[in-house]
Each structure stands twice: as C-alpha cells, then as structure tokens.
Structure 1
C-alpha cells in the first residue's frame, strides 16, 4: 500500500512534490521523501541513519515521517480502518459459526509500544487479520482497563451499572476448565485469541518501528505512526 500511497500523496499533498528553493535549485524528489518515511517505519532506524543512505538530515527525516503517516491516515482511514458494515458482520457471524463459536465478531486485545510512559493500543481484529478498531494513547499510570474504558469501541452497547461500566459483549475465558463443555468452549476461544496474536505478530514483523523502543517520539506522533501502520 505504501507504494501506491506515495503516488497518491504526490497528487494530493503539495509537500510531497518536488519544489525549488530560494536559490531556484531543485529540492528533494517526492520518492526520496516517501522512501525516507518508509525506511524508518519498516526498519525502525533512527532519523540520523537516513542521512547516510538518502542524504537527508535527521530533523527533515522526522518531518517527512510525520507528514507521510498523516497523509496515509487522511487518504485511507475511511476505507481500511472503519467499523464493519452489516454485510461484514454477517460474514463474521457465518465464519464464527463454522469455526464453532457462534456469535463471535472479533477479538480484542492490547499491544504495548515500549516507551518511558508505556502507551497502549487497543485493537479489534477479525479472523482475516482486519483490524477494524484501534484506540491508541493514555500514557502514564493508566492501565489496560482504563484505556478500554476511554475507547469508543463499545459506546453504542455500553450499559452502566453504578460507577462501573458493564461490557456485555465480552466473553471471558474459563480458567482451569473441568467439564467437557467448558474444555471445548476454552479450546474454541483460544483459537480465536490466536487471531489477534497473529495480527500483532504480522504488524510488528512488517513495521519494526513499533517493535523497537520509542525514545524520541511525543505521544501524538506515536499515535499517528501506530495508526498508519495498522492501515497499511
């Protein structure tokens, strides 16, 4: 997608076109700008490393990365990071029934991007590794439960019970199942849990930047990078 994204960015964002400077000299090629961002995403390299390969300074490389990720989100978020339609839901329900877990529409879990304040991303994934919901943020002392509570994924179905929100859509696992029905239930549920673990594995394999510690990013830029990687 990033290859086609670079073409779309060149036609929709003047920043990713070749311009001339005050001395009437040609600036950096659009492909070099996009390559800079893609190398940082794919390999997780520092911005200064780009200077040795593409001859672009670290500060400029970071700006290209931010602009590139924002452009990917602007162009493709509505298509590749959207809530499922009725047809999508019917397909999910059909597949889940065939897999022995009727009523299942996806798996939800979290992924940590190592950082000094530990930001967390909640994601909802289908069996085809389609991440159709992602909520990123909440640094500091907030834990996974707080992050989920702030996420809008269950706004339409949330039912409050006193001060504690209730999520009827959650199906918890059975610890140490003893009966045969419980063992069968746990087996199928664990199978679905592997969907999201596999999605996280694919995501981190494609984009090393989110597998390595993030030492130089502000929380806003971390969220932009994470969302663009999910879309791609």
Structure 2
C-alpha cells in the first residue's frame, strides 16, 4: 500500500511499527492543538500610583513640632508622641545613623525619599493611638504598606539598639541608685512601684472575647510593670487575660523568680533601727500582706503621705 501523509503501513507485532505509530499520533495531536488553540491575551493590572508630595509632608511635620517656633507646644508633643521631644529626636538620630532602613535616601531621579522624621512619626502614631496604617497617610504622606513597614522596622530597631540598656534587669549599681532615691523620698529599701493596667484589645478574636473581658464587651490584656520614680520600667509581664486582676496576674508573673531561685541581690538597710535584707515595692490595697509589698500609709502625718493613701484606694477600687 502506498503511504501518504495520512496513511502508513505497519505490521502487528513489530516494535518499530508500534513506535512509528505512537510518534505519528503524537505529531497529529500536536498539530491539532496548535490549529485550534486560541490565544487569550492576559491583562496586567496596573499599580495605582499616588503622588503624595512627601516633601510637603516633611515640611509640614517640621513646622508643626520641630522648628524654632513650632505650631504645637511641648505639652501637645508629649501627649501625641507619648515622650518628650528630646527623647524622640535622640531615637530618630540613632535610627537614621545606624539602621539602613531609616537612613535618608534618594530615588533614581535623585529625589529625596521619606525622611526619618516621617518614618518614626508614622510608627509612633500607630503605637500611641493604636491607629490603622492607612489613617496617617493624609498627614505624614506615607502609604499604608510603607507605614506598616516603618512600624515593623521601628520596633525591631528599638530592641536591637536600646534593649541592652533599657530592657534589662537592674544591676547592683542600679539597685544602689534606686535605694538612694527611695530613701530620699522617705521610703528606705523601696526599689519601685508595681501595678497592673488593662490594654484594650480592639481586634480580639471572637472565640477569645469572653476570656479577655471583665464583665464588659471590651476585651483587654493585662500588663504588670515595675517602675522606678524616674519612669524606668524594670519589669514587664504582658499578655494575661483581661479577666484577671492584680492577684491573678501576680500568681503567673515571674517578678519574684530571682528570689525563688536564689539569684536575688543582697542588700541591707535600716528602718527604725532594725536591719532588713529584702527590698520592697509600693503597691495598692489589693496586693497580699507580703514582706516585699508596702501599701498605703495607715495614719498619714504629712500631706504627701495622704497622696499615697488616695492613690492606693483609687487603684484598689479600679481593680
């Protein structure tokens, strides 16, 4: 039989003919697919670009808070940034000098990028107000994604640069200084104040809402902190459910682990002629009657002593 482009001869049982048949079928199938395939063009979604005039945002921020004659006073700066201006500028300068993400940059057209002031302000506003990343776009002139990245790099940089100095346990030199400050204020042996506060958890999962609510529809997370008179936080225990009060949090807190495991520093001080070797914290009335807790003064003999009583009663009522 004469063979053509569509006909061929083969004999059953021959391996060569079987291979030829398979090859021929594959070729015909490929030709059929090529002839019937429809080319469907794909449309790429264009990225929306918004000209935010970031230079104007930096100038506005500078004139509002950081120029020689700012629009807003020091009190308003402290309320909105939750710190004084000198501390904020120290943080900005340190980040701009040592963290690549916050260093001033220029783009391909030699245009100035987002300034370190704008980046740090975006991060602080999100932390201070618990605001969404998109809410600061109109003032700081930073997009939502960029604002979120600023926050992430900011918290990591703070821990890396300041953690060894400010996020640590007190050294013997620190304890000596704290004891000196406490004695100057009429509390020899006092190293700080301990208390708990509740942070509102706006995005608490529905399944956890009951566990983190205290009889209301607002879930909260408890923070236990020990702070000295200079507002230096020496201990922080965060994350306890909102249903807990100070006593429940104290049962879970590692604040006394050094004493339990024998790592507590030794100290000696005298009160009314008696020697003591354990320091103590100032607390409110809800805390137990332990030797390491000193509550309100039962019979105040000075106007300042009455303030301790008033504060303790208010904290007890709140807890």
Q: Normalization by structure 2: what TM-score?
A: 0.47
Question: Residues 108-123 of structure 1 correspond to what in structure 2 (within 5 A)?
Answer: 108-115=194-201, 116-123=218-225
What's the CA shift string for 1:133-154, capped at 9, x where partnerless? 2222223544433333333221
Query: Where in structure 2 are there 5+ consecutive unaligned residues?
Result: 1-86, 202-217, 262-288, 315-319
* Separation of aligned partners in 1, 2:250 and 2:108: 50
Q: Following the alignment from structure 2 to structure 1, what is the Cα–Cα distance between the partners of residues 104 and 141?
A: 16
1:169 to 292, 314, 317: 292
Query: Over aligned residue pairs, what C-alpha RMSD do you find?
Result: 3.9
1:74-131 deviation line (CA, Å, top 9, x unaligned): 2112222332232332333334334333322211001211225311111112223322
Greater helix content: 1
> Matches of residues 93-112 of structure 1 in structure 2 within 5 Å?
93-112=179-198
Distance (whole Å) between structure 2 residues aligned to residue 23 and residue 151 of structure 1: 54
Contact 2:192 2:228 in 1 (8 A): yes
Cα distance in 1, alignment partners of residues 296 and 305 from structure 2: 10
Return closer, same or farther for 1:171/1:61 CA change in 2, 3 Å cut-off: same
1:30-56 CA deviation, whole Å, 9 max, x = no partner? Answer: 332223223334555442231112322
Aligned to 2:299: 183
Kept after mapping to 1: 8 A contact 2:296/2:309: no
- 2:176 alignment partner in structure 1: 90
Q: Which runs of 5+ in 1 are unaligned?
A: 160-165, 175-181, 198-232
Measure how far apart 1:65 and its partner are.
1.7
What is the alpha-carbon distance in structure 2 between the residues aligned to residue 126 and residue 192 of structure 1? 18
Evaluate the alpha carbon distance shift between residue 10 and residue 96 of structure 1 in structure 2; reply closer, same or farther with a 3 A threshold. Answer: closer
SS at match of 1:183: coil
State whether structure 2 residue 241 is matched by structure 1 residue 125. no
Distance in 1 (CA, whole Å) between partners of 2:300 and 2:156 is: 44
TM-score, normalised on structure 1?
A: 0.61
Distance 1:192 1:14 in 2: 50
Contact 2:92 2:117 in 1 (8 A): yes
How far does the alpha carbon of each residue in 1:162-207 deviate from its partner, in whole angstroms, 9 at most, with x for none?
xxxx964223457xxxxxxx41499849539959x9xxxxxxxxxx
Higher mean alpha-carbon deviation, 49-58 vs 103-112, is at 49-58
The 5-angstrom pairing of residues 20-39 of structure 1 reads: 27-39=113-125
Distance 2:91 2:225 in 1: 23
Secondary structure of the structure 2 residue equivalent to 1:28: coil
Q: 1:13 aligns with which of 92, 96, 99?
A: 99
| Count of equivalent residues | 184
